[in-house]
């Protein structure tokens, strides 16, 4: 993998196109380092932006305090540790953003995992699931193809369309505005100090596991679900059903968090392994080994995604079985399945692949390397066998 380095970089960095996967990490200092297949770097003049193109996979280390623009990525992307604004155009696969500033995002073809943003987040379209956590500013989203999970958003939330289900776990502030349009169900975790008023369609079923008053609006077109004085206002334009649960009833929320954290942990482990492999080599051996690093990283990422999908399928099956047992026993249940969708939203998932023997071997390798426990490996293998 050829390496390109630039010193004393202070101008905006523009990644015009990456044909494969992209990994970007911010660093202290002013050095720009790029490893990739078919990389081209241009700068028309002093203080002009750096223009970067890469035909295959690309890994970059950029100055933290320099603005970054990513126009197009053909595969997956992971971007982290940035101290300036981030502007992304289109990502064909999955996208992971962590520890970044204000985010402007165009389109993501797959899943989105967004965590720790010191500013506002604006998104046009997400093709599949989205998990958005720990946002100090507001969140504005035009469309999510499948499920959306929002956790600890300090500012306003405006979501025009969610193709499947919505999970909310946040403090609702009277100073902010909240607006949601959901084609599936809404599950909201209500915290002990909540003081909120939900304005929902008149005929929409509402299930309450917390103390609240329910009454019709003055115009007779909506119903109001009010907790305490109802200082914070949450407007739901449309949803199949809404359930409000207390802080102790968070099994679905924990499921979403666990899936996200496992993805983050495995991606971090992969980066650490690659760094250790390259750090002890001299320049000539490192140059030779670098030629094979993009391919190894690509297949490792693919194997991880396969394992995560298998684990996701297994957990969803367990949740569905739990719901069937509850309905069979005569108790009330709420139909909600994180990570699965029905109808048109299901077509938005671009990563579905047939189960292969490679997946089983990969799970055994992960067990051997200590990345998963024996119990987790057995459950993953059982889930794979159930899908054959």
pTM: 0.68
Instruction: Name the DSSP letter for residue 220.
Output: S
Q: Which region among 37-46, 101-110, 180-189 has the lowest average model confidence (pLDDT)?
A: 37-46
pLDDT on residue 350: 45
**Does position 354 have pLDDT exceeding 90, yes or no?**
no
Q: Rounded to 5 degrees, what are φ and ψ at 300?
A: -65, -45
**Close Cβ partners of 62 (under 8 Å, ≥ 6 residues apart):** 9, 13, 24, 25, 26, 27, 32, 68, 82
Banded model confidence at residue 313, pLDDT cuts 50, 70, 90: low
pLDDT on residue 155: 95
Cα separation, 100 vs 98, in Å, equals: 6
**Does position 356 have pLDDT exceeding 80, yes or no?**
no
What separation, in Å, do the N-terminal and C-terminal C-alpha atoms of the chain show?
38
- In the block, tokens 């019709």 appear at 216
**Does position 100 have pLDDT exceeding 50, yes or no?**
yes
**Does position 318 have pLDDT exceeding 90, yes or no?**
no
**Does position 321 have pLDDT exceeding 70, yes or no?**
no
pLDDT by residue (tens digit) across 145-190?
999 999 999 999 999 999 999 999 989 999 999 999 999 999 998 8
Residues 137/140/141/147 CA torsion (nearest 10 deg): 50
Cα separation, 319 vs 336, in Å, equals: 9
Banded model confidence at residue 69, pLDDT cuts 50, 70, 90: very high
pLDDT on residue 265: 58
pLDDT on residue 299: 44
H or E segment and range at residue 195: none
pLDDT on residue 108: 94
- Comparison of pLDDT for 331 and 247, the residue scoring more: 247
pLDDT on residue 283: 46
* Neighbour tally for 219: CB within 10 Å: 7
**Does position 315 have pLDDT exceeding 60, yes or no?**
no
Residue 162: closest CA among 185, 140, 175, 144: 144
Locate the domains of the chain by residue range.
Answer: 1-92, 252-387
Q: What is the mean pLDDT of the chain?
A: 78
Length of the chain: 388
pLDDT by residue (tens digit) across 196-211?
999 999 999 999 988 8
């Amino acid at each position: 993998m050829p390496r390109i380095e630039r010193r004393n970089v202070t101008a905006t960095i523009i990644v015009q196109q990456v044909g494969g996967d992209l990994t970007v990490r911010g660093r202290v200092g002013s050095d720009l380092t790029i490893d990739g297949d078919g990389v081209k770097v241009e700068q028309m003049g002093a203080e002009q932006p750096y223009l970067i193109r890469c035909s295959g996979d690309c890994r970059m280390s950029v100055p933290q305090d320099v603005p970054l623009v990513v126009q197009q990525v053909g595969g997956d992307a992971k971007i982290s540790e940035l101290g300036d604004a981030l502007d992304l155009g289109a990502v064909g696969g999955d996208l992971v953003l962590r520890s970044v500033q204000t985010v402007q995002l165009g389109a993501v073809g797959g899943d989105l995992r967004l965590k720790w943003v010191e500013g506002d987040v604006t998104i046009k379209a997400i093709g599949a699931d989205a998990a958005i956590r720990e946002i100090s500013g507001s969140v504005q989203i035009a469309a999510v193809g499948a499920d959306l999970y929002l956790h600890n958003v300090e500012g306003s939330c405006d979501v025009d369309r969610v193709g499947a289900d919505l999970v909310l776990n946040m403090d609702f502030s009277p100073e902010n505005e909240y607006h949601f349009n959901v084609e599936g169900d809404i599950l909201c975790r209500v915290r002990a100090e909540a003081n909120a008023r939900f304005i929902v369609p008149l005929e929409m079923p509402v299930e309450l596991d917390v103390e609240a008053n329910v009454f019709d609006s003055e115009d007779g077109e909506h119903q109001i679900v009010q907790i305490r004085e109802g200082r914070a206002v949450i407007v739901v334009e449309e949803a199949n059903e809404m359930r409000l649960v207390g802080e102790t009833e968070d099994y679905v929320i924990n499921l979403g968090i666990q899936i996200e954290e496992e993805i983050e942990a495995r991606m971090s482990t992969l980066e650490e392994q690659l760094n250790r492999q390259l750090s002890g080599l001299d320049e000539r051996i490192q140059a030779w080994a670098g030629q094979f690093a993009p391919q190894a990283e690509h297949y490792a990422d693919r194997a991880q995604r396969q394992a995560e999908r298998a684990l996701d399928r297994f957990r969803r099956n367990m949740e569905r079985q739990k719901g069937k047992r509850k309905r069979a026993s005569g108790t009330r249940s709420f139909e909600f399945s994180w990570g699965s969708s029905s109808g048109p939203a299901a077509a938005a998932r671009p990563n579905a692949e047939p189960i292969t023997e490679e997946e089983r071997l990969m799970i055994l390798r992960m067990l051997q390397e200590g990345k998963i426990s024996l119990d987790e490996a057995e459950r993953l293998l059982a889930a794979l066998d159930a899908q054959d």
